[in-house]
Each structure stands twice: as C-alpha cells, then as structure tokens.
C-alpha cells in the first residue's frame, strides 16, 4: 500500500482555512499515487482548540466540513482528525475526539480516541468522552488499526508508570490489525522526538506490523508542534520521516521502502527552530506583521531579537534602546552593534528626563525613606511605557525578553520589562540562552549563514549579566551562578523534587536552595500576569502548570 502523511500546519478555529489545507493534500497525495492519506489529530479545527470545543456551532461546522471533505475522497482514502458529538445525549461528556475515515465520496467509518490525556498542557477530559471500544477499518483488503495520539503512549515496556489501565494498540492488534495508523498532535519538547521514535519502533516490532504516525506542525499559542511524521516497518525499522518544523507531504510504499537513518537534530538547533516557528506562527495567526522590543545590550534581548529577525525578517523588527543614568556606554554600543548585525531599525530614547520627573513627583510622598527596589522598578516601568507606546503607534507586537531563570525567581518587574504580548524565552533557561547565543554565531545557524557574519556581539555574550538599575549592579548580586540556579529550577519545577531532595542530591547550601524554591513559589503571582510564552521544556510556566498563588506550603519541612 502507498501511504501519504499530510503534515499540515492548521490554525486553531480556522475551519474553512484548515479544510483548504486538507483538500490540497488529499489532491496532492492522489496525484502521487497514494491509496491512503493520513492527517493529524483534530486537523479540521487545529490543536489545541481549548474551549472552542464548548461552542455547539463550532462542532457543527467541523462535522459539516468533514462531510464536505469526504466528497474529495474518490480514488483515495483519507483519515482526518475532528471533534464530533458523542453517542449519548444524556450522560458523559458531549464530544468524541475522532478520526473520520473518508472514502468513495463519504465518511465510511470513524474511530474514537480512547486515552484522554489530562496532565501538563493536555486537558481532554474537560471536553471528550473516551471511545467505548476500539475497532478496525478495512481499506483495499488491509485491516487498519487507527488510533489517536495518546492511544499510542501507554506501552508497558516503555513507561515506568503507565497512566491508563488499557492499551488500545494491543487491543487493535488482537482484533487482527495489519497496519497501525496514528493521527497525532504531539507538542515539541527538547529531546522528545528520540523517545517518540523509540516508542514507535518498539510497538511496530512487538506486533510485527507497520506503524504510520502523522503529526501536526506549527505554533499554536504557547505550543509548538514539530511535525517529523514517520513510518516504521514491521521489524521496527524507520522507513520514512517528515521534515522538522515545516509542512510536508510524505509518501511511502510500504512494500518497497527500505530502512533509512535520520540522525537527531542537535538540541540547540531544534530549540532554535522551535522558537522561530512558534514566534512566526503566533504573529501570522494573530495578524501581526511587525515586532518591537527593547534592546538593553544584554544577551536575552539579543537572542530574542535574532529569533524575531529569523521569524519575520529584519525589515519587520525594530529595536529600542532606553538608557538611564545607570546604563553603561558599552550597553548602548552593544545594542547598536546587534542592530547593525541584524539589519534592523534601532532607536535610542533616553528615559532620564522621565525618570527625574517621576522622582520629583514622588519626592514628598517618599520623604524620609531610603531608596530601594522601588526606584529600580520605576526605571523598568518607564521603559515599559515607552515600548507599549511604540507598540501602539506602529501596530507592532511587543516582545518581552525575560528567560525562564528570571521568570522563575521573579527577577523581573511587573508592568516594566514584563510588558509585552508574547515571550520567546520564557521557557529557555539562562544557561541555554548563553548556549544559543554562541551557537547563533556559528554556521550551524541558518540566520548566521543568511547574514554571513556575526549575529550576537561577542561582548554581549562575555560580559557579566546586569539589569543596570543601580550603580555597578550585577545579576550575581542577587542570584547564584546561573548553572546552579538552573539546576535547582529544573529539579524543582520540571521534576517536582522537594527542597530536601535537591539539597541531598546536589550538595548545594541549604539556605540557598530554600531561598530559591521560596522565590519560585512567591512569584507565582507575577507569572499569572506574564505574557504567553513558547514551551520547549517538559514543564513550562504556562497553562500546563497550575499552582495556587495564595498558599502556604512550607518547603522547610524535613529540612530545618
């Protein structure tokens, strides 16, 4: 059988636009001689649709669109993900997460997702009823075992703790499936794809059956989908693989395809591609054509600006330097050099006059009190005012430039440097920001090859990080070394380790660990007000992490 994997980039809620993408690839697959074309999970509405699924009109339009698309399926069979009403109008949730099998100009079957993930960024039990049972579809004499995304992720030999009691893939095999087909919307996380391939290879080899996996690609709000659809033969060999981070139509003949090698992308390369695609799609799908951001001369704004140029082009990115009395001349020079390297417009708007005016305005009220972080934050907030004015006046998306390390411990100012409509680095630890900056200056980076020269000024990479909100300020005045900080954050946030375990496993100073985890907990209120940001790690500060603000859990328990 010749099969096509239609790795499309849907826009959430754009049912008509997504239907055009699906129609395009049905026709292209048929022209290439494919007998079967497979699309991603919920392809007609895009993943994740969130509470759009609660609108009955949306579901009606999805079903109507699939019925219309089925008319295209003459001389080819298509498997397309869509939401549809569940069988019971009286009990249970109202929807199924389904895959329609379209052939001979009509919907001939539908398969219902069995395993509904409700963890991290997934919340499918909020909307969907699990499938009552698995079943097979026969196409040209071949029995297809169709599953949807999570249905594949419960293999006993691959997980130390399985989340579900059932394994739909085993059940499909027991029914006599001859080919596994998985419609997926699997978000990107660094290093995840290697595990995906290992899982699918294991499943194919275990049952001695070919496995076809079609993944969504593109950015939808915080999530980035990396595509990389693939096919494995019955011996567990990879025989086809889609492009990473771009649309693709992969066609493979199961009978004649030979094993192939597909080396993994280096971590920095895939992180960079995810950030660029996520930002580009956020702008495109929200209607933004231009970007503005503050350029401090520091490494975070430099890396953010470089990603913005890679996403939208230098002609659509504008940098703003806003020096204060505490800014070094070198910082302005580094920001200007970055702008020259990237070929972007750069404006310098000093904030000294506004800073002086606010100090004067507050002098009587603050009389008798020593300057503290209040005065530092005023500077950050004045810069926020300037940047929001630029965003409004020039119809540009303002990017906030904070990294995961700073966001974790609250080393950022509400209504100041946290201003913005989108965050590129909010799930990128500071240590990785440095690594990305250095990598961007090598010919492994597409932007460096395009610019044919230095991307990030060397001085920006090598100088000690500083917020420059008081004389001679350095990040190290308030924070431990970033390699230590990031290790604590990774263990506490991503692995959910206790302070006690972090201390025992790392040997770090007790008071340091307790202070950092306390800062992480205390600053939940800031993160709740932060701009949405791209997710690239296993646990981001976004809608997948739901921590209370008003809480008193004491991390000192068992430590002091």
What is the three-class DSSP state of 112? strand
Q: Tell me the binding residues for ATP.
A: 294-301, 401
Residue 320 parent element (H or E): strand 317-321
Q: What is the DSSP letter of 303?
A: H
Angle, helices 482-489/499-506, rounded to nearest 10 degrees:
130
184: nearest Cα among 138, 230, 142, 216: 216
Alpha-carbon Rg of the chain, whole angstroms? 26
Q: Tell me the binding residues.
A: 119, 186, 192, 294-301, 377, 401, 406, 526
Two structure tokens written together for 556: 């000192």
Q: CA angle, 484 as apex, 121 and 404 as ends, to 5°?
A: 35
Residue that is written with structure tokens 């068992």 in the block:
558
- Residue 429 CB contacts under 8 Å (≥ 6 apart), including other chains: 403, 404, 405, 482, 486, 489, 490, 537
Q: Tell me the binding residues for L-glutamine.
A: 119, 186, 192
What is the three-class DSSP state of 215? strand
Q: How many CB atoms lie within 10 A of CB 296?
A: 27
Taken in order 272, 212, 186, 154, the sign of the CA dihedral is negative
| Complete DSSP assignment for 154-212 | --GGG-SS-S-S--HHHHHHHTT-SEEEEEE--B--TTHHHHHHHHHHHHHHHHT--EE
Taking a C-beta distance cutoff of 8 angstroms, is the pair 40, 214 a contact? yes
Q: What is the DSSP letter of 128?
A: B
Q: Tell me the binding residues for deamido-NAD(+).
A: 377, 406, 526
> Which residues are the active-site residues?
41, 113, 149
Burial 475-510 (b: 16+ CB within 10 A, else e): beeebbebebbbbbbbbbbeeebbbbbbbeeeebee
Beta bridge partners of 106: 103
């Amino acid at each position: 059988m010749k099969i096509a994997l239609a790795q499309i980039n849907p826009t959430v809620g754009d049912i008509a636009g997504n239907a055009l993408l699906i129609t395009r690839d049905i026709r292209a697959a048929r022209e290439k001689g494919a007998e079967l074309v497979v699309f991603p999970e919920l392809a007609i509405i895009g993943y994740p649709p969130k509470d759009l699924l609660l609108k009955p009109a949306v579901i009606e339009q999805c079903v109507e669109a699939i019925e219309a698309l089925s008319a295209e399926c003459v001389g080819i069979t298509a498997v397309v993900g869509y939401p549809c009403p569940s069988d019971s109008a009286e009990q249970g949730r109202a929807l199924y997460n389904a895959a329609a099998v379209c052939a001979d100009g009509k919907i001939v079957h539908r398969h219902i997702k069995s395993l509904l993930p409700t963890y991290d960024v997934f919340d499918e039990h909020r909307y969907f009823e699990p499938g009552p049972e698995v079943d097979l579809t026969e196409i040209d004499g071949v029995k297809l075992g169709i599953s949807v995304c999570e249905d594949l992720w419960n293999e006993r030999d691959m997980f130390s703790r399985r989340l579900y009691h059932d394994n739909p893939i085993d059940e499909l095999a027991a029914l006599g499936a001859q080919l596994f087909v998985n419609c997926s919307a699997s978000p990107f996380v660094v290093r995840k794809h290697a595990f995906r391939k290992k899982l699918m290879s294991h499943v194919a080899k275990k049952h001695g059956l070919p496995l076809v996996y079609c993944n969504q690609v593109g950015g939808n709000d915080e999530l980035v989908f990396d595509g990389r659809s693939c096919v494995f033969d019955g011996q567990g060999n990879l025989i086809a693989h889609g492009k990473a981070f771009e649309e693709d139509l992969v066609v493979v003949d199961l009978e004649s395809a030979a094993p192939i090698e597909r080396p993994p992308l280096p971590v920095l390369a895939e992180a960079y591609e995810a950030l660029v695609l996520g930002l580009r799609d956020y702008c495109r799908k929200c209607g933004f054509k231009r970007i503005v951001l503050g350029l401090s001369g520091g490494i975070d704004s430099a890396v953010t600006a470089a990603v913005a140029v890679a996403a939208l082009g230098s002609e659509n990115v504008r940098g703003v330097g806003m020096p204060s009395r505490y800014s070094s001349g070198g910082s302005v020079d580094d920001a200007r050099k970055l702008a020259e390297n990237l070929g972007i417009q750069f404006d310098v708007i000093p904030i000294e006059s506004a800073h002086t005016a606010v100090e004067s305005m507050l002098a009587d009220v603050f009389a008798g009190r020593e300057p503290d972080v209040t005065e530092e934050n005023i500077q950050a907030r004045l810069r926020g005012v300037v940047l929001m004015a630029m965003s409004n006046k020039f119809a540009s998306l303002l990017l906030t430039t904070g990294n995961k390390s700073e966001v974790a411990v609250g080393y950022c100012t509400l209504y100041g440097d946290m201003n913005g409509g989108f965050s590129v680095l909010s799930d990128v630890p500071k240590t990785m920001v440095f690594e990305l900056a250095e990598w961007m200056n090598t010919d492994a980076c597409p932007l460096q090859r395009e610019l044919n020269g230095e991307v990030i000024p060397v001085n920006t990479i090598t100088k000690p990080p500083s917020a420059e909100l008081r004389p001679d300020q350095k990040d190290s005045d308030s924070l431990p070394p970033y390699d230590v900080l990031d290790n604590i954050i990774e263990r506490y946030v991503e692995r959910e380790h206790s302070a006690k375990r972090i201390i025992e496993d790392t040997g770090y100073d007790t008071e340091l660990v307790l202070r950092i985890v306390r800062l992480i907990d205390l600053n939940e209120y800031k993160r709740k007000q932060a701009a949405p940001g791209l997710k690239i790690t296993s646990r981001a500060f976004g809608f997948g992490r739901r921590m209370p603000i008003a809480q008193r859990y004491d991390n000192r328990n068992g430590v002091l």
